[in-house]
Amino acid sequence: MTQLFDRNRALLDGALQAMKTRAFWTPFPEVPSGRFYGETARQDGEVAFSDLLGKSFELNGHPCEYHVGKEQSPWDLDLDVTYPAAPVETLIAASQSAFDDWSETSVEMRVGVLLETLVRLNKMSFLIGHATVHTTGQGFPMAFQAGGPHAQDRGLEAVAAAYAELTATVDRATWEKPQGRIEPIVLEKQWSLVPRGIALAIGCNTFPCWNAYPGLFASLATGNTVIVKPHPMAILPLAITVRVLRQVLEEEGLPADTVLLAADEPEAQVSKDLVQAPEIKLIDYTGSSHFGNWIRSHAGDALVFTEETGVNSVVITGTDDFPGMCANLAFSLALYSGQMCTSPQNIYVPESGIVTNEGHKSFDDVFAGIADAIDELLADPKQAPGICGTIVNPATMDRLHRARSVGRVLRDSGETGIGRSATPLIVAVGEEDMLHKDECFGPVVFGIATRTPEAAIDQAAGLAKEKGAITAALYARDPGLIDTAAKAFCHAGVNLSVNLTGNIYVNQSAAFSDFHVTGANPAGNASLTDTAFVAPRFRRVMVRWPKALDNQSVSARG
Amino acid sequence: MTQLFDRNRALLDGALQAMKTRAFWTPFPEVPSGRFYGETARQDGEVAFSDLLGKSFELNGHPCEYHVGKEQSPWDLDLDVTYPAAPVETLIAASQSAFDDWSETSVEMRVGVLLETLVRLNKMSFLIGHATVHTTGQGFPMAFQAGGPHAQDRGLEAVAAAYAELTATVDRATWEKPQGRIEPIVLEKQWSLVPRGIALAIGCNTFPCWNAYPGLFASLATGNTVIVKPHPMAILPLAITVRVLRQVLEEEGLPADTVLLAADEPEAQVSKDLVQAPEIKLIDYTGSSHFGNWIRSHAGDALVFTEETGVNSVVITGTDDFPGMCANLAFSLALYSGQMCTSPQNIYVPESGIVTNEGHKSFDDVFAGIADAIDELLADPKQAPGICGTIVNPATMDRLHRARSVGRVLRDSGETGIGRSATPLIVAVGEEDMLHKDECFGPVVFGIATRTPEAAIDQAAGLAKEKGAITAALYARDPGLIDTAAKAFCHAGVNLSVNLTGNIYVNQSAAFSDFHVTGANPAGNASLTDTAFVAPRFRRVMVRWPKALDNQSVSARG
């Protein structure tokens, strides 16, 4: 019964080890190449994706009273995919009927199913890449990574963290209490792992797999059944995920309804009904703080994990590599047109300018350098759409237009030529302006002049503490300033990247090493993946009896 | 700087080991004997206690704008102790001013301070025992254990759990990502442990130390400063605790205000002001669900851990040792007059009676056996007060009088002869009655006849799931029934004790082995001490930089 666990044991052990050492490790190659994925993988993925279009997506045995689906590709491809759907009550009843079997399955069996699922998903990374491209609007290279191997890394990380916690203490013990000169008291004790109930994983539009996998896999590993509620515009990547999970479950004789899909359409979303259902005991959510607040006040006794709104900042006080800095920032700003939760939004530069390896640079020089680097990065019309992707939500275009008028435009936004696109807009605003003090999701960058380098750090860290932030970047030559910034962003609960140049970016968060979201500021309480993210998803319940009675079988579960 | 850590290392290692194996272990002897505590310990404790009476309690350097204190001993001793006090804003400001130093102190230093404090508290267990007697109304043997070594065990458990979690991952790593044929990307990463902020530990009247130590020590170990808010009638044991903590802190050159006392009086409690203060980021609370609900809706973004109201049940379906069962239950019911969160309240017995080693026993026979055992236990007027203690809250007497009239009295409550006392009342009620379906705190036991043994299990487990429960007990001869009960109480999230006889009781919860409160039913979300109790009390925040720049010092903390 633990064949899948044994088969994938090395995967688990590798993850457990890496999560302690935080050194680089991944079992899932991030390069979309036949060298890793097999010679035909690329073409197989394209065919598999085409086969899904214009059809009703098949989920064997899934509750289905009607079909829904209005996804539209920001790349102008007709998707026309629909999904089996059923009322919330039906989904909850189906989840409840799977609950006993799944929750009483051994840890090894559960973890085996999840590891096997991740391995199979990895082999489908090209398919998932295309599904991610046409729901998120990302370019293919990024969609492949973020929807495929990088999401699988985060899923594996959650499974490993859960496994470590599930097995942290014994499940049976003999407790022998000395009684001085008389016979000791001897109790046998046995613990069951009791999951919370039905979990809800609410996906987002921009990173359907990457942001949903941690909660999904953590809840499953700890014995909860899960209802996956994708963003109505990004269902396909999660529908594929649910299908693979259900297939592996069925093969192992476990209830497929352990994982359900709650697909919906923009005009008739089911999130609120699900959140308010008393049977839902765990919620993982990625999205705006606005809806995050609604969830918190309507979730009853459900445990809520979130990644929410934030304002990420870059502080530039000096650099030993001005072109390297500009090129690095250009990529961070252009990548997926600022639609990452890790994308920088505000760039703080002292009004007197900075010292660099190329001499003094004024405030305007700095932004001219960044703007030129963006222009250069996006000069090739074949490359630009792959980097910027498209703008997935039309409301982002409105925000972009509004932002253009609030200050002095340092670089105007343009188009890449394909789909609904927008390259980074850079606008100089004053600290007294307000727009940059909230998240302005999309390819909008604010340049803010500060009186001193220290003021730049103070303002950026202060905003992070108040409004939340997931990343921060600093460019500095002075070790004292680096220390000051490290302390300030530490207090603000933001991970800080210092003096990044070359092929590593502030936006990037690597599983098994970087904790994504610290939980120490308003940008979310779900730190991927620390113990606090997995430990409260289940409980330990004991039965104890005198050892003298041990010939009596006592078994609470299974 | 880690001398205290090194000195007490064996204590920590022992705890860490025991928490994995869950075998019996304690460094703090539970027997109040000169053999363990020194020949003069008993007398020294009495003298030290007398020295505190009729005075203002000294807390060196503690904020003090006035004195408060209206504790009254349920044993009719004049206490007349007052405590330094200050407005909530003053306490919060003092806690904030200690925060940076304490939160940036190394894990080893912090843990060393806490271990040393526990060792010193242990040596003061006789004093703490007397302080506990005269605030909780417990008899001395119990007060010594519950206020002394058993509370210290739970404190140590919390420190060890926190230490394990704080040190679970490295604090510095080199992350080297291969780049095919070109040079790898190499980042240096460093993590700081960032506590949540100021923690509030709200104590209860009945177990001031035992219930407050886990949250207090867990919050401190993870770098938070703590304001201890005792129950206004049970300040002294926690004031002694705060004094020892502050002494050790001072000796180590750390701010004494890391731990503050928020003493108050019944008519002017400060709990609500503290809970609502936005600076409070962590709350540990033991008490009624009524106030627990108030806390949850007024705590803002503070993390709340609770132990709350519940209804503990015993199910009797048969026994191989009728006298042993009756004697065991008699002690469980009489001990501290049912004022333990682990005391049984409802006893379910099939209406057709049970099979025992003494033949068939009717419903009434069973309770007659228990009543006789209680009478025998309390027959000696010198022993009875030590077992039953006193009734700490006058409202408990009112509940007792009301309960007497709701059904057929199977054993009437009596007095022990000392203080405000009440021995167990046993009343037969029908399942259709309501009073037994809520917590009726105090020496009130309801006997409930059920149609079958299975119905007894169903009703007891169902009530636990709905209203919460911390303990459950079963007496049964049939292995099938034991399995059924184990499953039912497991689903209800209650620890179950089966067929206890002799000197081990359902009320008892041993640190390092028994998780106290499962978190899986409404009786609380704080499981003592699992990882979920400590992990969210702090966060990890990273700073990363290219290895090439490693000659630049980057230090976020300290």
Taking the CA atoms of residue A285, residue A217, residue A243 and residue A204 in that order, the dihedral angle to the nearest 10 degrees is: 20
Say how far apart CA A543 and CA B355 lie, in whole Å.
Answer: 23
Contact, A61 vs A150, CB < 8 A? no
B253 beta partners:
none
User: Is pLDDT of A558 > 50?
Assistant: no
Per the rule left: phi > 0, alpha: psi between -120 and 50, beta: everything else, B313 is beta
Contacts of B500 (CB under 8 A, 6+ apart): A545, A546, B328, B473, B506
**3-class secondary-structure state, position A434:** coil
Of B495, B546, B555, the CB nearest to A499: B546
pLDDT tens-place string over residues B457-495 = 999 999 999 999 999 999 999 999 999 999 999 999 999
Residue in B425, B422, B426 with CA at minimum distance from that of residue B391: B422
- Identify which of A504, A502, A498 has the alpha carbon closest to the alpha carbon of residue A475: A498
Query: Does residue B484 contact residue B452 with C-beta atoms inside 8 Å?
Result: no
The C-alpha atoms of residue A189 and residue A171 are separated, in whole angstroms, by 8
Structure tokens given for B187: 């980042």
Give residue for tokens 């886990």.
B214
Whether the ω angle into residue A40 lies within 30 degrees of 0, i.e. cis, is no
The distance of B56 to chain A (nearest Cα, Å) reads 39
Give me the mean pLDDT over the A415-432 stretch: 94
Alpha helices in B413-478 (DSSP H): 453-467
DSSP letter, residue A36: H
Confidence at B549, pLDDT banded by 50, 70, 90: low
Contact B448, B346 (CB under 8 A): yes
User: pLDDT confidence of A555, banded at 50, 70, 90?
Assistant: low
Identify the burial level of B152 via C-beta atoms within 10 angstroms of its C-beta, where 0-12 means exposed, 13-18 middle and 19 or more buried.
Answer: buried
H/E run at residue B397 = helix B394-404
What is d(CA B124, CA B51) in angstroms, rounded to the nearest whole number?
Answer: 14
What percent of chain A clears pLDDT 90, i.e. is strictly above it?
A: 96
Q: What is the pLDDT of residue B221?
A: 98
Contacts of A24 in chain B (CB under 8 A): 175-178
Exposed e or buried b per residue across A194-213, where buried means at least 16 C-beta atoms within 10 angstroms of its C-beta: bbbbbbbbbbbbbbbbbbbb
Tokens encoding A137: 């609007």
Instruction: Mark yes or no for CB contact B189/A557 under 8 Å.
Output: no
pLDDT tens sequence across A234-273: 999 999 999 999 999 999 999 999 999 999 999 999 999 9
Is the CA virtual torsion B502, B508, B514, B520 positive or negative? positive
* Contact between chains at A513 and B175 (C-beta distance less than 8 A): yes
Contact list, A497 vs chain B (CB under 8 Å): 543-545
> Which amino acid appears at position B123 of this protein?
K
Containing A303, the helix (H) or strand (E) segment is: strand A303-307
- Residues of chain B found within 8 Å of residue A479, distances taken between Cβ atoms: 552-554
Contact B498 A192 (CB under 8 A): no
Instruction: Name the pLDDT band for A432 (thresholds 50, 70, 90).
Output: confident
Residue of A nearest to B524 (CA): A301
Q: Which residue of B has its CA nearest to A321?
A: B549
What is the least distance, in Å, from the CA of A473 to any CA of chain B?
Answer: 9
Residue-wise pLDDT for A524-539, tens only, equals 999 999 999 999 999 9
Least Cα separation, residue A256 to chain B (angstroms): 22
| B175/B196 Cα distance (integer angstroms) | 28
User: Which helix or strand (DSSP H or E) is residue A195 part of?
Assistant: strand A182-195
Q: Among positive and negative, which fits the CA dihedral A361, A364, A369, A370?
A: positive
Q: Give the separation between CA B15 and CA A33, rounded to whole angstroms.
A: 50
Neighbouring CB atoms inside 10 A of B29's CB total: 15
Contact A530 B540 (CB under 8 A): yes
Counts for chain B of helices (H) and strands (E), in that order: 20, 20
Task: List the single residue in A192, A518, A544 with the smallest CB-CB distance to B497.
Answer: A544
Strand partners, B447: B347, B428
Q: How far apart are CA B498 and CA A550, in angstroms?
A: 11
| β-sheet bridge partners, residue A411 | A426
pLDDT at B27 over 50: yes
Task: With a cut of 90, say whether residue A431 has pLDDT above it.
Answer: no
Question: Could you tell me which chain A residue has the CA closest to the CA of B499?
Answer: A545
| B263 in Cβ contact with B233 (< 8 Å) | no
Q: Which residue's entry shows tokens 């923690």? A: B199
Averaged pLDDT, B19-40: 96
Q: Write the pLDDT tens digit of every residue in B117-174.
A: 999 999 999 999 999 999 999 999 999 999 999 999 999 999 999 999 999 999 999 9
Strand order in the sheet with A354-356: A318-319, A354-356, A359-361
The average confidence (pLDDT) of chain B is: 96
% of chain B exceeding 70 in pLDDT: 98
Name the token pair of B74: 């349920």
- Measured N-to-C along each axis, helices B9-21 and B107-123 cross at an angle, to the nearest 10 degrees, of 90
Residue A549 confidence (pLDDT): 61
Segment B172-203, tens digit of pLDDT? 999 999 998 999 999 999 999 999 999 999 99
Distance from A5 to chain B by nearest Cα, in Å? 23
Supply the pLDDT for residue A343.
97
Q: Is B414 helix (H, G, I), strand (E, B) or coil?
A: coil
- CB contact under 8 Å between B541 and A518, yes or no, is yes
A237: Cβ contacts below 8 Å, ≥ 6 apart: A128, A131, A132, A135, A147, A208, A209, A230
Coil vs helix vs strand at A344: coil
Looking at every residue in chain A, the average pLDDT score rounds to 96
Do B540 and A557 lie within an 8 Å CB cutoff?
Answer: no
Q: Is the pLDDT of residue A450 over 70?
A: yes
Give residue B432's pLDDT band: very low, low, confident or very high (50, 70, 90).
Answer: confident
Residues of B in contact with A499 (CB under 8 A): 545-546, 549
A contacts of B513 (beta carbons < 8 Å): 173, 175, 189
pLDDT in tens, B204-242: 999 999 999 999 999 999 999 999 999 999 999 999 999
Confidence of residue B558 (pLDDT cuts 50, 70, 90): very low
- pLDDT recorded at residue B433: 85
B527 three-state secondary structure: coil
Residue B521: its pLDDT value, please?
96
- The reply to whether residue B493 touches residue A541, judged by beta carbons under 8 angstroms, is yes
Give dist(CA A112, CA A116) in Å, integer: 6
Whether the predicted pLDDT of B557 surpasses 50 = no
Query: Looking at beta carbons, which residues of chain A come within 8 Å of B490?
Result: 192, 194, 541, 543, 556-557
| B1 pLDDT higher than 60 | no
Task: State whether A543 and B486 contact (CB < 8 Å).
Answer: yes
Q: Which of B496, B514, B527 sits opposite A539 (nearest CB)?
A: B527
Q: Do B503 and A192 touch (CB under 8 A)?
A: no
Q: Is the pLDDT of residue B55 over 50?
A: yes
Which of A501, A543, A551, A553 has the most B C-beta neighbours within 10 Å, making it the best mutation to test the interface with B? A543
To the nearest whole percent, how much of chain B has pLDDT over 90? 96
Burial class (CB in 10 A: 0-12, 13-18, 19+), A398: exposed
H or E element, residue B483: helix B479-491
Residues from chain A contacting residue B498 (CB–CB below 8 Å): 543-545, 549, 554
Work out the pLDDT band at B243, boundaries 50, 70, 90: very high
* Residue B28 Cα, gap to closest chain A Cα (Å): 13
CB contact under 8 A, A536 and B532: yes
Q: Do A490 and B541 touch (CB under 8 A)?
A: yes
State residue B548's pLDDT score: 79
Please report residues of A whose CB lies closer than 8 A to that of B520: 194, 196, 539, 541
Strands (DSSP E) found in B1-85: 66-68, 83-85
What are the pLDDT digits (tens) for B277-326?
A: 999 999 999 999 999 999 999 999 999 999 999 999 999 999 999 999 99
Between CA B152 and CA B34 the distance in angstroms is: 18
Q: Which residues of B touch A532 (CB under 8 A)?
A: 532, 535-536
Partners of A503 on chain B (C-beta within 8 Å) are 179, 185
Query: B262-271: per-residue pLDDT in tens?
Result: 999 999 999 9
- pLDDT confidence of residue A557: 46
* DSSP SS3 for A475: strand
Q: How are beta strands A172-179 and A182-195 bridged, if at all?
A: antiparallel
Give the confidence band of B82 by pLDDT, cuts at 50, 70, 90. Answer: very high
Contacts of A552 in chain B (CB under 8 A): 479, 482
